[in-house]
Amino acid sequence: MDAVNKCSHLAHAGNDMELKPYIHNFFGKGEQEVADLEKKGCLDSIKSFKQHTSLLEGDDLEVSNCGSRLRCAREGSKATTMYDVNGLLGATCAHGFALPDLFCNMRRSENFTFYLVLLKHIVKECPSVKHVYIDFGCRLAKTWTWYLQALDKELPPSAVDLRIMVNWMHAASHDMSCQLENSGRFQKDAGFVVGEQSEQLWAMTKDPSSLMRCMTLQNRHDSVECLLSDINDLKLARLVLVLKAKMDSMHKKLAELDQRLDGIQAESNAAGIHDLHAAAQEFLGTQFAVSPTLSERPFLEAEYVRLREMDIAVQKLQSIGFSWKEAGGMSPAALLLRGSTHKEQRELQAKLTDLEIKLAISPDSVWTVDSNDYTRGFKLLAEQQILRYQSAIDVIVHELAQKNIEKRQQGEASKVTHALASKIRGLHAKLRSSLEEMYAWMAAAHDDPHADVSLPQSVVDAMLQGEPAPWHVGSHSSGLRLMLGRRFYMAENDRQRCIEQLSRLPVEKKRLMQWLDIMLQRVQERIRVVAEDMSEHAVIGSLPHPYELTRHHGVHFWLQWHAQRLAAILKEVNEKLNW
């Protein structure tokens, strides 16, 4: 499921409101509900939408901790004066077909409300759907959980099992911890589905989109309907070839992954690391800020201090915003203050209160920054963060060594060499930023805040040449272990997704054949009805108006052509999909 701004409509173009759309295949109940919400003023924000659903004000949304910043991941937006329709939002199946009744016009900029409306209709019309891919699914999943509570009696029981995941390509811009939790690449039973089918659909709407801006709304509606129907027809004509290519590519990918896993196993054996599953679990442990032993009091204290530091930072941001406001200016901090700091501070206070209860901290003994309890918790927090950065730096250093070896093996300049050089530059930048962030935590935890805790450049260069990092005593296997664990975990997950996809493809072939049989029977029945109608007029001798006669012949011809096409596709399935 995705949105696009290409097929927008200018507010002052084509204002004839008397025309009505003729076609209603893709704009269905979801579009009608969005139009009703606009009339009620419930499209601007989740807050207004919440009031519309009559949910209690105390049930606040829980925001994901993902650090990605996507413009489309908004809980609210405003109408613009230039456009009365900002674009389209719709859903496709795993093969890229536009789904009927699951498209709507975005009468505001992209925000959560449109997605919630269409998700509701997806689970209503097709309760068997288990997976949905959305660019910012990590954030929307929290809101969807709240929406399920609001519509408990309206939706089927299977709605609670719906998994909202992030597309593989878009997930690459998210935090690694977010990828591991939300990307379809790491979710069991998700299959090898990249989830970018909507992007491919929007790419096919590029050419006519500029014309649609100046049409009447009704003609634009029908144009989009016809365009989506044509795209589906083109995809149906190539579906058998796509399924065959998918099967071939999965077998090829599986062989490549088996070879890659054998190479990782040989490399780990040479390094004396024999349990790659344990190494993978160790890698996973470095990616999550919350320790699995968080129930222990020291870790609760560290988490409490971390939230206190965030609360202090938000308060500082507020003071900056107010100082600029008093000076007559409007800084970025002040703009951010108006949008999110109040909500963020409220959420922080709720989490702090929960931890104060667990730690038995009374309101009159809340830890202050200069208290011994706060200092102890801060040092533990700093130790956790430093260890986390050290593990990440170990992985980056070994990844750099691996990429440099691959680059040397390639020899002459080529596309592969240029791609490796680009990855190496990115890893160097990531290494520099990780080192700087680690230095900041080391300085904060140091007794002397002015002490130089940074590593000499010679030490960093030695690490890149294979020397152990200063924080490893006697051995540097930890970084290599994490790097091999990461590579093993990635390759093993890709392999599992390939196996799942290979088991799905025969099922997809069976469903396609069943659908073709049903559609062919329906078309043949319709041909029989039209032929009987035409022969009845001929026997009676009372032919209808010439226009009606022409229409009957046209419908009959089109149905015959459609039946021949379906029969040809069914034959192609039997001939080419021999699995």
For 505-553, the DSSP string reads HHHHHHHHHHHHHHHHHHHHHHHHHHHHHHHHHHHHT----HHHHHHHH
Over the stretch 76-109, which tens digit does the pLDDT of each residue have? Answer: 555 567 888 999 999 999 999 999 999 999 988 8
More reliable by pLDDT, 176 or 74:
176
pLDDT digits (tens, 9 = 90+) for 265-281: 998 999 888 899 999 98
User: Residue 338, Cβ neighbours under 10 Å: how many?
Assistant: 11
The confidence band for 64, taking pLDDT boundaries of 50, 70 and 90, is low
Q: 122 versus 551: which is more confidently predicted?
A: 122
pLDDT interval class at 342 (50, 70, 90):
low
User: In whole angstroms, what is the distance from residue 99 CA to residue 91 CA?
Assistant: 6
Whole-model pTM above 0.85?
no
Region 365-370: what's the mean pLDDT? 77
Distances, alpha carbon 417 to alpha carbons 68, 81, 263, 406, 414, in Å: 29, 49, 21, 9, 5
User: Which of the residue ranges 215-229, 247-261, 344-358, 518-532 would you say has the lowest mean pLDDT?
Assistant: 344-358
**Backbone angles phi and psi of 537, in degrees to 5:** -65, -35
Phi first, then psi, for residue 110 (nearest 5°) are -55, 125
pLDDT at site 549: 59
Distance CA 93, CA 126 (A): 12
Q: What is the mean pLDDT of the chain?
A: 82
What whole-number distance in Å separates Cα of residue 469 and Cα of residue 483?
A: 14
User: What mean pLDDT comes out for the span 165-185?
Assistant: 87
Least confident of 29-33, 147-151, 522-526: 147-151
Pairing outcome for strands 2-4 and 87-92: antiparallel
The predicted pLDDT at position 99 comes to 94
**Percentage of residues in the chain having pLDDT higher than 70:** 83
Distance CA 371, CA 90 (A): 54
At residue 339 the predicted structure's pLDDT band, cuts being 50, 70 and 90, is very low
Q: What is the pLDDT of residue 70?
A: 58
Asked if residue 114 lies in contact with residue 104, where contact means CB atoms within 8 angstroms, the answer is: yes
Q: Distance between CA 115 and CA 30 in Å, rounded?
A: 10
